[in-house]
Chains A and B, each alone.
Chain A
Amino acid sequence: MSEFELLLREQAPQVLSALVRHYGHFDLAEEAVQEALLAATQQWPSEGVPDNPRGWLIRVGSRRLTDLLRSESARRRREENAAQLSAPEEFVASGPEIDDPGGRDDTLTLLFLCCHPALSPASQIALTLRAVGGLTTAQIAAAFLVPEATMAQRISRAKRSIKQAGSTFEMPPEAERDERMVAVLHVLYLIFNEGYTASSGTSLHSAELTTEAIRLARGVRKLLPDDGEVAGLLALMLLTDARRPARTGDDGTLIPLAEQDRSRWNRAAIVEGEAMVSDALSRSQLGPYQVQAAIAAVHDTAERAEDTDWRQIVALYDVLEQLVDNPMVKLNHAVAVGMAVGPKEGLAVLEPLESDDRMNHRLEAVRAHLLEMAGELAAARESYLLAARRTTSTPERNYLQSKADRLT
């Protein structure tokens, strides 16, 4: 991301908030901001960045929004005229110049709106990336490998759903805030994950999503410096992303944690993430992101794979399982037990998961790994092959197939 693009993206939520505060009409205001950002990318490179970029964007966005509101009201008038000849004249204020809200930051209000419970996760993500992240529809579509028209539809529909749910641009009531915050953090986590898992192979565009998720999480942390889960989530992202340079080979093959070249890990991100999660754990209420970050920190601070403190990881998974009911957590717990105690014990942890219908190919992959550790090579090979057939990820299939091949 260029410095110029970063400047624009940082302004996006501020400009949108200013417009919505003044005019209402979140859906049209969001459209207007996109057009103002586009105008900036076209004009600033040749004309230079204005002295007050935000003021410029607010001015251009507000002009555009006034146009949109005029044509919207003309359309409505036409419709009303057809039904009833004496429709009242609707007046759309051309609007005084809007003041820059200055110190006020409405990004959080905006995030709550974009992560509205009436929307599907896919829609929450798309709208958050556009309205808060300032990404274009084309960029979001490229990251998710769908046509631009499909993504445009998803975003308009999301805005319509928010309107229909009767939501306004206000902080949710105190009683709902915790629950809504969980949704906001989950959306940021999903954006990160989408980018992180796609950073192998050919999906080059998607890697940018991790950067964007980290940028957004940093923004939330600035607004809520005492929230332990916000810190936990940001730390988890930093500690996970730190391994990105080592997690894939040049040809896009996945390299398991134990075989990664740790000298390629991002030290600065590890130091920052570890300090952040330690601080959060010492002074705020425990939550799942903090525990996951703590687990990532144990991995990241082991000099060699064999130095990993698996007993501590098992203890942390015990805590995490108390906090969340997630099949992936259970599988990882089994792996940790396999490493800390022994493969037979790890396999025993897997047993009750057989009947959990949320399990996917990963159960078979974990079983294969534990069977291999236990020296049951023929059974391990069968499990690797079954997992390879069940996954829908090409890099995972290649990895699992190669593990099976090595056991023949």
Chain B
Amino acid sequence: MVTVKYMLLIYSNAESWESLSAEQRDGLSRAHESLTRELLEQGLLVSSAGLADPITTRTVQVRDETTTTTDGPYAEAKEHLAGFYLVECEDIDQAIGYAARMPDAEYVAVEVRPVMDMSGLEM
């Protein structure tokens, strides 16, 4: 494989977001705008989006063919998924480089995970 798709998962928490100054929030937007522009221009961006506040989350479960939904995230954690980028990179180091440019990595953390694909070699 020449390139691998990586999912960059941006984590945030209510506290860290609320504690940001207006300036820091502007800086956050600017950093994401510039990163998105660069990834687009290089033809590496597959998709990206920010996610609405976890307060808007509905968790769906099906048990015995019955669907139930509850308000709020499934996992009980202080941190939540705040957004993602799906990018094509030559290797994980390149993906880590992009993750490190997100101010979110400074405030909470960004996870880098390879995406599974259907290519394979017989062994």
Given known A-B contacts A150-B45, A155-B43, A392-B114, A201 and B120 have beta carbons under 8 A apart: yes
A394 within 8 A of B: yes
Identify whether the interface residues of A are mostly helix, strand, loop, or mixed.
Answer: helix
A399 touches B123 (CB 8 A): yes
Cα A145 to Cα B5 with chains together (Å): 10
Given known A-B contacts A194-B2, A197-B1, A392-B114, A257 and B122 have beta carbons under 8 A apart: yes
Cα A146 to Cα B43 with chains together (Å): 9
Cβ contacts under 8 Å, A369 to chain B = 123
CB-contact partner of B118 in A152, A194, A200, A365, under 8 A? A200
Q: Per-position contact with A for B1-20: 1 when CB-CB < 8 Å, else 0?
A: 11111000000000000000
Cβ contacts under 8 Å, A257 to chain B = 122
Given known A-B contacts A122-B2, A147-B46, A157-B41, A197 and B120 have beta carbons under 8 A apart: yes
- How distant is B53 from chain A, measured CB to nearest CB, in Å? 27
Given known A-B contacts A146-B88, A153-B43, A190-B2, A198 and B119 have beta carbons under 8 A apart: yes
Cβ contacts under 8 Å, B40 to chain A = 150, 153
Cα A366 to Cα B120 with chains together (Å): 15
A31 within 8 A of B: no
Q: Per-position contact with B for A109-151: 1 when CB-CB < 8 Å, else 0?
A: 0000000000011110110000000000000000011110011
Which residues of chain A in 381-406 are interfacial with respect to chain B, using CB atoms and an 8 Å cutoff?
391-397, 399-400
Cβ contacts under 8 Å, A365 to chain B = 123
Cβ contacts under 8 Å, A120 to chain B = 90
B119 touches A153 (CB 8 A): no
Q: Per-position contact with A for B43-79: 1 when CB-CB < 8 Å, else 0?
A: 1111100000000000000000000000000000000
Closest to B42 in A: A157
CB-contact partner of B121 in A150, A154, A254, under 8 A? A254
Which residues of chain A in 344-400 are interfacial with respect to chain B, using CB atoms and an 8 Å cutoff?
362, 365-366, 369, 391-397, 399-400
A255 touches B122 (CB 8 A): yes
- How distant is B120 from chain A, measured CB to nearest CB, in Å? 4
B117 within 8 A of A: yes
Cα A200 to Cα B114 with chains together (Å): 19
Cβ contacts under 8 Å, A395 to chain B = 118-120
Q: Which size bracket describes the interface of A in this complex?
A: 35 or more
Q: Which size bracket describes the interface of B in this complex?
A: 20 to 34
Cα A303 to Cα B98 with chains together (Å): 50
B22 within 8 A of A: no
Cβ contacts under 8 Å, B119 to chain A = 194, 197-198, 200-201, 203, 206, 393, 395
Which residues of chain A in 252-269 are interfacial with respect to chain B, using CB atoms and an 8 Å cutoff?
252, 254-257, 260
Cβ contacts under 8 Å, B45 to chain A = 150
A150 touches B4 (CB 8 A): no
Closest to A124 in B: B2
Cβ contacts under 8 Å, B90 to chain A = 120-122
B115 within 8 A of A: yes
- How distant is A330 from chain B, measured CB to nearest CB, in Å? 15
A42 within 8 A of B: no
A54 within 8 A of B: no
- How distant is B38 from chain A, measured CB to nearest CB, in Å? 11
CB-contact partner of B44 in A150, A252, A392, under 8 A? A150
A202 within 8 A of B: yes
A247 within 8 A of B: yes
Cβ contacts under 8 Å, A197 to chain B = 1, 119-121
Which residue numbers of A lie inside 8 Å of B, CB to CB? 120-123, 125-126, 144-147, 150-157, 190, 194, 197-198, 200-203, 206, 247, 252, 254-257, 260, 362, 365-366, 369, 391-397, 399-400
Q: What are 7 A-to-B residue pairs whose CB atoms are below 8 Å?
A: A152-B43, A194-B1, A202-B118, A254-B121, A260-B122, A394-B117, A394-B118
Given contacts A153-B42, A203-B118, list 10 more A-B pairs with CB under 8 A: A144-B3, A147-B47, A197-B119, A200-B118, A201-B120, A247-B122, A392-B115, A393-B121, A395-B120, A396-B120
Across chains A and B, which 3 residue pairs bring their CB atoms closest together, nearest first? Answer: A154-B43, A201-B118, A395-B120
